[in-house]
Structure 1
Amino acid sequence: MESRYTPAEIEEKWQKVWSETNLDQTPEQSDKPKFYALSMFPYPSGNLHMGHVRVYTIVDVIARLKRMQGYRVLNPMGWDAFGLPAENAAIERNVAPANWTYQNIDQMRDQLKQLGISFDWSKELATCSPDYYRWTQWIFLEFFKAGLAYQKEATVNWDPIDQTVLANEQVDADGRSWRSGAKVERKLLRQWFLKITDYAEQLLVDLDKLKGWPDRVKLMQANWIGKSTGAQVTFTTEAGDEIVVFTTRPDTLWGASFMVLSPEHPLVEKLTTSEQSAAIQQYQEAAAAKSDLDRTAEGQEKTGVWTGSYAINPVNNQKIPIWIADYVLMDYGTGAIMAVPAHDQRDFEFAKKFNLPIHVVVQPADQTLDSSTMTEAYPGEGVMVNSGELNGVPAGKGKGQSVEKAIAFLEAHQKGKGTSNYRLRDWLISRQRYWGAPIPIIHCPNCGAVPVPDADLPVKLPEDVEFSGKGGSPLTQIESWLNVPCPSCGTPAKRETDTMDTFIDSSWYFLRYPDANNDQAVFDKAITNDWMPVDQYVGGIEHAILHLLYSRFFTKVLRDRGLLNFDEPFERLLTQGMVQGRTYKNPTTGKYVIPADIKDPTNPVDPITGEKLEIVFEKMSKSKHNGVAPGDVVNKYGADTARMFILFKAPPEKDLEWEDADVEGQYRFLNRVWRLVADSKLNQKPAKDLSKAEKDLRRSIHTAIKEITEDLQGEYQFNTAVSELMKLSNALSDCAQKDSPVYAEGIDALLRLLAPFAPHMAEELWRSIGHSDSIHTQSFPIVDPGALVADEKTIVIQILGKTRGTIEAATAIADDKAALEQFARDSEIAKRYIDGKEIKKVIVVPGKLVNFVVA
């Protein structure tokens, strides 16, 4: 065996062997319990970053551990390959999106293999492959058949120069198009939606089932769903049109003095009088030029225009004016609110600005509110006044309080009903872009929206496409693709030219992996139901809301379509922290300095200004000059060192600060392990009567097994598990009896414990000590509880609190207070210091020390 550790050689060697022997392939049939380990699949940008290394290493340790613990393991990999960056590349580089994407996939696959991740590459999928998006389209049609996919008018970001719809990420902070620089407008277009609101209550309630999820992620999802309880109330205009509002405080209806509609509300045009028409149109145009964020931002001055029309307050029949204002959004609630300025600050500010009535309907206990002298709204508790049947009722949401009684009043008089509302909106999935899964609908002038027959799937993206970045989706320009006969009646019709949001692709990919090569069905129900749900999912906190929410939604819909037999897709979720690099920042200019330009990294100064620089750890990026390429680390130290560092530096859920010195430390540790095994001549004979030193070593071995197993079974504390590996290595290094069978047991345990963390080194050393089978097919060490029990314990002897020496006591004596005191009295150390002296007091701590207080 080589005495020198050469990671480049052994890693390439074993990666080739593992690939040739299909070591990491998923067992198709087995009586072993299953374990589905899954990392969030990446966008194929072409280059791995340290965040990738962290998440895939974490999952790989878990997968390798579970295989060694007797599970059949599924650990797949794929590519979230549709999306805007590929289309941008097509425009900027004059290259087809598919070519650019698949080239990046090839590059990243090679990088991942260099890390030794035990992915089953036979399960690999790419969402841009027709073999995959055929089934994405099929699932869309399942939603369509269930009435969960529909079209409606929706407000979108519109670039008036390029004449195209923009995603939110294509609009900069100033509200301008990322490409043309034009001020983005808000425009109504017919768009496709998925009816996720039908599942809002299930998605909220079932959060309680997710015992293995971080509490903060569940809270983020609950807040996004945003359930609120109250009442739906119907106002009627003077012309007889109904305006429905939702309010959490129906008890304040008697204080409603005006209504506010969104500028986009469909009734605005009908309600606008000729005198107000010009002002309304001008206001609508101004509102369309603002983002939703701008319209609803705190502290914004309230603006609005009266339509010229009135509504009738349903509880007191008073006539109240109807206004439009941009702080009311059409896609939140019903696009209409009742305004109660005495008890809502936003309404109060609006009423004050436009001199609208303010009616007090809740009086606090400690003061008397007068609308003419109020300087702000009063949203607190009190008693109802000026509220008809509610007068004198305590204001609040409890039993017998005003909200409950108001709902009862509305329902009794058929003016409204108690209901719940959700912040969650239906999911807009239309994208006016090329590089996405085409929506499989054909629009017929006779039949309307007709689904593409299953036999005609996939609706493939045409390949001969020109990209200019202008004029919307290029699919609208390809007549041969666009014009088709209606599947129902044969009339000339047109394909849907919108493609699907890429979140669609990632909402079901985990269901395809177990049966990734099925060309007859989306998946075999028996196979996917056998492997699902995912036992451990690992990915970034940035996906805590939308991706996870949409995945849960898809799972529930496909369950209801008879394809799945479970409610939730992911049993346990780990959201790993970011990898941060050291930056050198000028505190005055805010600019980052290139590390190579700094002469003294311990006392860094700006080479241009001479100012002292701040050392800050921030997310790695080129602009901050703090990026570390995984390939550079692997080439210098090896994949096993990169893995060990990324696991040891911080707990997985915490941010990790990259320091080269710490990488060096892990490299030195692996070198020590290498030398430890390389220099060993192991005695494989069975151990018989053990010396004290051998018993102590065996206790160290099984303590390591116990601690590492617990670290990996609970909250995945990889950093402390690596620390235990170091302790065991040190114990073996310190052992004087290298020919002892216990020492051989220790080397065996060390390598098997190390295998999930540093798989290449563990494999090489395992084979070097005489084994023919892969270490990754061995069982993970199991603790021997008997080895943890010491025959003897070391007891400290103190005189007047000062340590005078130690003695060895049998465990039975050491743990018995009276026996230990007598044993200590009889020891040579005690006799030496207390002979002839009066013992005033003896302090005994069983198993640890005896302190003699003498005169």
Structure 2
Amino acid sequence: MFPYPSGRLHMGHVRVYTISDAIGHFQRMRGHEVLNPMGWDAFGLPAENAAIERNLDPEDWTKSNIQSMRGQLDDLGLCFNWDREVTTCLPDYYKWTQYLFIKLFESGLAYQKEAVVNWDPVDQTVLADEQVDESGRSWRSGALVEQKLLTQWFIKTTNYAKPLLDALEELPEWYGVKAMQANWIGECTGCYFDYRLKVNLYFLLCSLLSFFLYFFSCRYSLDDFTRPNVPNFTLFSQFFLLFRPFRRHLADHWLPVDVYIGGKEHAVMHLYYARFLSHFCRDQGLVAHREPFRKLLVQGLIKGQTFKLADGGQYLRKEEIDFTGKEPVALSGGPVEVTWEKMSKSKHNGLDPQEVVQQYGVDTVRLYILYAAPPEQDILWNVKTDALPGVLRWQSRLWQLVTKLRGARELGDVPNPSLLKKKELAEAKKIWENKNYAIQEVTAHFTEDFLFNAAISRLMGLTNTLTSAQVGVLQHSVEFEEALAALVLMTAPMAPHLASELWAGWWLFLDPRKPSKITKVLQQSWPIVDPQYLEVPDFVEVSVLINNKPCGKVAVPLQVSKDVSRVQHLVLESAVGQKHLSERSIKRAILSPRTALINFLVEE
């Protein structure tokens, strides 16, 4: 989603753009072309109201805010395709909105008629039903909404209701949103009744059935949307089409969008209008596709701790509260209700991203956002939780690994695996296995479920394995060197600045026979799983336990490793079985269904 240029980014912006930036870096490292655009949703009453309050021209106010917010995005180290930047209040953008409206009008989908509308007396504008809260007040001005009869423009979206409903079946990766859209669109079915009047009265007494049909079709089918001007979330619905306005070869090359990132609140507004316009543009021959987005990544909110008076609900600043007791109380007297709510200036629970970045660093903030919760869940911003200390410790341990490698390599010449002892060889093999497992898991999280918190946890696990390695393994193991390289590369999309420094450090201690020129970490290829790791082994090493105590391992053919009687027979014939079980009475043998393990219960 493109931000509204209010002048400052908020933490919600930081979350959505951190996610898109990480995905973009990952896909580039896999060799894909990536378009990660940026623009400004710059039309609307807030700019006009803010300009009036400050006695400024709305255009000057908006352009100044764009400049400021662009600087903030640069400070966050976000990688956008700035050559595709759009600003909706500029003629080179909105001329295409006007063009689309004319196309809708020519197709009979845009028309005028009188209608009762929601009128905001403060902002002097019409509101959609979705812009009126449960108290009947405007979502922005807070004014009590009035009902007014006005001549309105309508867009006949109902003409596309059936194809839009049917096409949801073609969107398997719209998790949690398809049902919401299907319920929003609904199936409008019914019958036409022509009643003959028995008495010429000035009103018609209709049956309960006809009243029900009228009420149901009006309240529970998809209404045509009405506005005095096209709503901003409709304008926003065209962003994905207008980076190079309607150049067919470019649209066909880039579209549909592979990943849409945004909040679930857009499920039945922005996403619906985006789909409607995409279907319409396909029918007009402007694009080749009907559906605009392949996959949805629905993100939750970042919530801040909120304090308000238990009586009256007035929001309080922290400095207006006494925290010395067991329960917080207002300095003015009275109990305080503590909740977690969406960050807002009016609730005094917001955070300035710039201040947070200055305190903790860009990559720490990025990692915290990705690690604190899965994308679809809300984050309760609290730096005292385990998430922030966890990512701080992890970054420190990554630095220590590179330092350990340097210290080990300074003890001798180039790595010589032939010098590794048997125990060290086993440790090197474990590192190799953990590296491949981490690559497999992290790649899946980036491509399938976007569970970046799980990806970071897996990288922390690989870090633990490398941290526990002996000096001999660091000094002479190629596996350690390759695993550390893979660890840094997989960290790069999420913490690019840290990874760049780690990568430079890793290059300093490579085998001198390799090229010495340091290349940028984000220009490297994403690590892949070694083919040998994917090979199915012919034999499996089964751990043998006797009365829950380990006594050795036995290699058994893979094809019989799940057959308890066959495994028991092979163990009894092995050296381990001859030594520990030949003269003992076996009561029962238990083969683990999850791991290669068999437990013999014997009489003592």
TM bin (shorter chain): 0.7 to 0.9
Structure-2 separation of matches of 1:556 and 1:423 = 20
| Residue 648 (structure 1) aligned with residue 528 (structure 2) | no
**Residues 319 and 101 (structure 1), Cα distance of their counterparts in 2 relative to 1, 3 Å cut:** same
Structure-2 separation of matches of 1:602 and 1:808 = 60
CA drift of 1:719 comes to 1.3
AA of the residue aligned to 2:498: M
**Residues 592 and 764 (structure 1), Cα distance of their counterparts in 2 relative to 1, 3 Å cut:** same
**Residues 178 and 686 (structure 1), Cα distance of their counterparts in 2 relative to 1, 3 Å cut:** closer
2:550 matched to which residue of 1?
805
CA drift of 1:342 comes to 7.9
Cα offsets for 1:203-229 (capped at 9, x unmatched): 2222222222124x2222223223221
Cα offsets for 1:432-471 (capped at 9, x unmatched): xxxxxxxxxxxxxxxxxxxxxxxxxxxxxxxxxxxxxxxx
| Residue 738 (structure 1) aligned with residue 468 (structure 2) | no
Q: Is the 8 A contact 2:320 2:331 kept in 1?
A: no
1:850 matched to which residue of 2?
599
| Mapping for residues 556-571 of structure 1, pairs under 5 Å | 556-571=279-294
**Residues 756 and 593 (structure 1), Cα distance of their counterparts in 2 relative to 1, 3 Å cut:** same
2:433 matched to which residue of 1?
699
Structure-2 separation of matches of 1:506 and 1:829 = 71
Tell me, what secondary structure is at the counterpart of 2:260? strand
**Residues 805 and 613 (structure 1), Cα distance of their counterparts in 2 relative to 1, 3 Å cut:** farther
AA of the residue aligned to 1:318: K
Q: Is the 8 A contact 1:584 1:592 kept in 2?
A: yes
CA drift of 1:810 comes to 3.7
**Residues 601 and 571 (structure 1), Cα distance of their counterparts in 2 relative to 1, 3 Å cut:** farther
1:228 matched to which residue of 2?
188
| Mapping for residues 388-467 of structure 1, pairs under 5 Å | 423-431=221-229
CA drift of 1:598 comes to 6.0
**TM-score (normalizing by structure 1):** 0.61
Q: Is the 8 A contact 1:837 1:854 kept in 2?
A: yes
Structure-2 separation of matches of 1:510 and 1:179 = 26
1:674 matched to which residue of 2?
399
2:514 matched to which residue of 1?
none
| Mapping for residues 79-94 of structure 1, pairs under 5 Å | 79-94=40-55
1:626 matched to which residue of 2?
349
AA of the residue aligned to 1:754: T
Q: Which moves more between the two structures, 586-595 or 110-119? A: 586-595
CA drift of 1:64 comes to 1.3
**TM-score (normalizing by structure 2):** 0.84
What is the Cα-based RMSD across aligned positions, in Å? 3.7
1:507 matched to which residue of 2?
237
Q: Is the 8 A contact 1:594 1:625 kept in 2?
A: yes
Q: Is the 8 A contact 2:263 2:298 kept in 1?
A: yes
Q: Is the 8 A contact 1:508 1:554 kept in 2?
A: yes
Structure-2 separation of matches of 1:156 and 1:753 = 53
**Aligned counterpart for 2:267 among listed residues 524, 544, 552:** 544
Cα offsets for 1:558-584 (capped at 9, x unmatched): 212211111111111121111122334
**Residues 185 and 422 (structure 1), Cα distance of their counterparts in 2 relative to 1, 3 Å cut:** closer
2:79 matched to which residue of 1?
118
Cα offsets for 1:192-249 (capped at 9, x unmatched): 232322222222222222222124x222222322322121233xxxxxxxxxxxxxxx
| Residue 718 (structure 1) aligned with residue 452 (structure 2) | yes
Structure-2 separation of matches of 1:181 and 1:575 = 28
Structure-2 separation of matches of 1:320 and 1:55 = 63
2:526 matched to which residue of 1?
780
| Mapping for residues 380-391 of structure 1, pairs under 5 Å | none
AA of the residue aligned to 2:59: A
CA drift of 1:636 comes to 1.4
Q: Is the 8 A contact 2:474 2:480 kept in 1?
A: yes
CA drift of 1:185 comes to 4.7
In proportion to residue count, which structure has more helix?
Answer: 2
**Residues 611 and 735 (structure 1), Cα distance of their counterparts in 2 relative to 1, 3 Å cut:** farther
Listed as ranges, the gaps of 5+ residues in structure 1 are 1-39, 235-312, 324-336, 349-378, 380-418, 432-499, 516-521
Q: Is the 8 A contact 1:171 1:184 kept in 2?
A: yes
CA drift of 1:89 comes to 1.2
CA drift of 1:340 comes to 2.1
Listed as ranges, the gaps of 5+ residues in structure 2 are 508-516
1:73 matched to which residue of 2?
34
Cα offsets for 1:574-624 (capped at 9, x unmatched): 211111223345545545554456665894331548877555332222344
| Residue 340 (structure 1) aligned with residue 89 (structure 2) | no
Structure-1 separation of matches of 2:368 and 2:584 = 57
Q: Is the 8 A contact 1:804 1:829 kept in 2?
A: no
Structure-2 separation of matches of 1:706 and 1:601 = 50
Q: Is the 8 A contact 1:339 1:347 kept in 2?
A: no
Structure-2 separation of matches of 1:101 and 1:659 = 32
**Residues 602 and 806 (structure 1), Cα distance of their counterparts in 2 relative to 1, 3 Å cut:** farther
**Residues 155 and 836 (structure 1), Cα distance of their counterparts in 2 relative to 1, 3 Å cut:** closer
Structure-2 separation of matches of 1:108 and 1:118 = 14
| Residue 765 (structure 1) aligned with residue 488 (structure 2) | no
Q: Is the 8 A contact 1:111 1:631 kept in 2?
A: yes
| Mapping for residues 809-848 of structure 1, pairs under 5 Å | 809-810=554-555, 812=557, 815=561, 817=564, 818=566, 823=571, 838-845=585-592, 847-848=596-597
2:66 matched to which residue of 1?
105
Cα offsets for 1:633-667 (capped at 9, x unmatched): 21111111111111111111122222203223212
1:637 matched to which residue of 2?
360
Structure-2 separation of matches of 1:53 and 1:182 = 31
**Residues 591 and 149 (structure 1), Cα distance of their counterparts in 2 relative to 1, 3 Å cut:** closer
Q: Is the 8 A contact 2:88 2:94 kept in 1?
A: yes
Structure-1 separation of matches of 2:414 and 2:238 = 51
Q: Is the 8 A contact 2:180 2:267 kept in 1?
A: yes
2:57 matched to which residue of 1?
96
2:302 matched to which residue of 1?
579
CA drift of 1:429 comes to 3.9
Tell me, what secondary structure is at the counterpart of 2:449? coil
Identity %: 42
AA of the residue aligned to 1:766: W
Q: Which moves more between the two structures, 732-741 or 815-824? A: 815-824
Structure-2 separation of matches of 1:198 and 1:133 = 25
Q: Is the 8 A contact 1:228 1:421 kept in 2?
A: no
CA drift of 1:158 comes to 5.1
AA of the residue aligned to 2:603: V
AA of the residue aligned to 2:191: A
